[in-house]
Amino acid sequence: MATAVDTTHADTTDTADTTDATDPSGTSKHARRFGLPVATALVMGNIIGGGIFMLPASIAPYGTISLVAFVVLTVAAIALALVFGRLAARDPRTGGPYVYAREAFGDFAGFLAAWTYWITGWVSNAALAVAAVGYLDVLIPVGGHPWSACLTALVLLWLPAVANFAGTRYVGAVQLVSTVLKFVPLLLVAVGGLFFFDPARLGPFNSSGQSPVGAVSASAALLLFSYLGVESAAVSAGEVENPRRNVGRATVIGTAGAALVYLLGTLSVFGTVPHERLVHSTAPFSDAVNAMFGGNWGGTAVAAAAVISMTGCLNGWTLLSAQTPYAAAKDGLFPATFARRRRGVPTFGVGVTVVLASLLTAYNYLSGSTKIFEVLVLVTTFTATVPYLLATAAQLYHLVSGNAGSVDRARLVRDGVITAVAAAFSLWLMAGAGYAAVYQGVLFLFAGVLVYAVMAARRQRRTV
């Protein structure tokens, strides 16, 4: 297997592979390419999951200086989005960071990107399902017993998987509808809250007792997980119409839109809920709606929005979690069964992903321990930075090498600055995960090295 990728040949291969093999016409009515609106919804839907509903209370102890961290992270996330857009314009195939790393650095780097991104996907799905149960419990009492809560979480995991099994046509429809529905209550607080904004409720600028730099870094560590998903359109580039043009646009628009909702929503909650109450709040958006309009209906409305948000996020992440191992399996770096596709969806990858997420979810509930699960959630911050950093390094490689057709000379300086910011963002993500998460993440990483050794040996044996 060659370490370099023939992108011209790969484009046609990937397009052909999206068809349903059981359809004699060569096309499947269930497989449909995403346009710019759906690709943008995929990015926004995957970035904005359940985190936003607890975000204001999580960073409130640091004071309004945490809004500075928001701005810094937003700039860095958009820089990373621009890097993905540039890379997708060069190589618009399904797989995202895996494809970029493998083309630039060979099979091993590509495998590490695919392996760590896959881990990020199914662990994140488990986290979203568990978080969704807490909000669903406001609507329907399901969290009173570990068994009922566990069963509910498993249902929430498998419903998006069923949508994925039905085909990319239905994945896109679910993603678009869930994104639109969840933005209604979010925008209600983000925009409506500004009319009820009272600066007296903001509290101190820096209430952490740390230096300004320390406070920004500490609050940023809590915000990092909220920006995972900027690569969504790039990972599914093979299913996006005109990917050289639309992946970059969808990534930047989706990231900027999600950041705007984050910032306005948090600012509105800060200005409607008194600081001393917000620090101890378990439902900050509900408290904000109650403060704005009175009554107790806000908790129910926000809980419904949270469930919709996380269901849509699970829908998108289920697809993304299967796309990268699919691309790696086509190149012989993952088991061949991951390359099976039906109705435009890597069905085996979806199945394995949801099974692993289900096992992790069940373990979380039945073990009675939340600390282990919280560490695993932070592991996703670490594991996501590996493909991010490899993709950024691939862009840096193309810029420095100056290969013909790889670098736009007129944009060299601008692309270099953007890439440097994206690289710093990736390293900051890794540092923000914390020592325990990095330790666990490295163990996952080196377990993947053993898998790569087996796959490499099998490829070698077939070529002899």
pLDDT in tens, 288-318: 888 888 767 777 877 787 787 777 778 777 8
Give the separation between CA 415 and CA 63, rounded to whole angstroms: 35
Give the separation between CA 47 and CA 117, rounded to whole angstroms: 15
Count of CB atoms situated within 10 Å of the CB of 92: 23
pLDDT at 1: 39
250 has pLDDT over 90:
no
390 has pLDDT over 90:
yes
pLDDT at 24: 37
146 has pLDDT over 80:
no
Q: Please state the separation of Cα 439 from the chain's center in Å.
A: 21
Give the separation between CA 321 and CA 110, rounded to whole angstroms: 15
pLDDT at 28: 46
Is 399:82 a contact under the CB 8 Å cutoff? no
Residue 433 phi, psi (nearest 5)? -65, -25
Q: Which of 13-22, 166-175, 362-371, 379-388 has the highest mean pLDDT?
A: 379-388
Q: Please state the separation of Cα 142 from the chain's center in Å.
A: 27
Which pTM was predicted? 0.75
Give the separation between CA 94 and CA 234, rounded to whole angstroms: 7
363 has pLDDT over 60:
yes
321 has pLDDT over 50:
yes
Give the separation between CA 109 and CA 3, rounded to whole angstroms: 10
Q: Which candidate, 353, 332, 339, places its Cα nearest to that of 454? A: 332
Least confident range of 127-136, 269-278, 299-308, 399-408: 399-408
Residue 2: pLDDT band with limits 50, 70, 90: very low
Rounded to the nearest integer, the mean pLDDT of the chain is: 77
Residue 142 phi, psi (nearest 5)? -120, -10
189 has pLDDT over 60:
yes
Percent of the chain scored above 90 by pLDDT?
5
